[in-house]
Structure 1
Amino acid sequence: MGASAGGVQALTALFLRIPADTRATFLVVLHVPPYEPSTLHVVFSRATRMRVVAAMDGVPQEVGTVYVASPGRHLMVDDRGVSLAGGLARIAMAFWCRL
């Protein structure tokens, strides 16, 4: 799920309504400045009994868990689990450097 910084309220309302025993995994990416520390995982953990964590690179994906991306980062999922990717600015820079 993705949202701008104003989406925190909507995501909080959503997590309040999702049963704690759901068999789903949630990946949350919000458009927030990369230079600010984030406590969004704490905010969302107050709205649900599901496990909510600040996503870390290479952790296995677990059912019933909410993974929150670090500011300025994207979340990717592959066979190894959850991974962090650079933000759009980094992706664009990598593209332009290859030209």
Structure 2
Amino acid sequence: MTNSFFIVGIGASAGGVPALTEFFDHLPYKMKSSYVVATHLMRDRQSLLDQILKKHTKLPVIRLEKDTKLEMGKIYVIIEDTTVTVKDGLLKVEKRDDKVVNSCVDILFESLAIELREIGIGIILSGGGNDGLKGAKKIKEMGGKVLVQNPDSAKIPWMPMSVIEGDHPIIVETPAKIAQHLVRLCKLSE
């Protein structure tokens, strides 16, 4: 796949909503990028994350209820009981497997790495467990970039800590500073 814009995968779990809102509060809306947000959700409860994020950005926020064409300048949000991958310019939505442990961030990040190589960017925010570590390693291996929330600023530090210890991301900062760094990163590549 060849793209003229960056695709940023964002993974979060427990404590992720405040981190996501801080990130989007500080992100300019005129960037050559789109955003795919994968969070750990209850299987049987409708997520309201799209409604929450709409209050913190001028960008359109889309609930991923079916396969969707990737477009620059949009935020795509995973919904309950699903996973999403990037393939041939599409976001492919599938029903989540029956495993107890949710690995939606790894699934998204691994597809970003394979499909987008050096224009794939992964961001890990607050959450428990280590979902995102395997995918972050794949993004780095394929030439992309990984940015991580500083565990001291995360409500639940385990997801960020696992990536910091296992992958050595290019930046470890607050969500606001990650947004600022992302602006510089995208400008350097124009």
TM-score band (shorter)?
A: 0.7 to 0.9
**Is 1:39 matched with 2:57?**
no
Q: 1:3-40: per-residue Cα shift (whole Å, max 9, x none)?
A: 11320110110011111111111100111111001111
Q: How far apart, in 2, do the equivalents of 1:80 and 1:58 lie?
A: 10
2:140 matched to which residue of 1?
none
Unpaired runs of 5+ residues, structure 1, are 91-99
Q: 1:51: how far off?
A: 0.9
2:68 matched to which residue of 1?
59
Aligned length: 91
Aligned pairs for 1:67-86 within 5 A: 67-86=76-95
Richer in helix (by share): 2
Q: How far apart, in 2, do the equivalents of 1:24 and 1:11 lie?
A: 16
TM-score normalized with structure 2 length: 0.45
User: Which of 1, 6, 10 lines up with 2:19 in the alignment?
Assistant: 10
**Is 1:24 matched with 2:33?**
yes
Q: How far apart, in 2, do the equivalents of 1:19 and 1:88 lie?
A: 35
Q: 1:58: how far off?
A: 2.0
TM-score normalized with structure 1 length: 0.83
Unpaired runs of 5+ residues, structure 2, are 1-9, 100-190
CA RMSD of aligned residues (A): 1.7
- 1:4 is aligned with what amino acid? S
Q: How far apart, in 2, do the equivalents of 1:63 and 1:78 lie?
A: 15
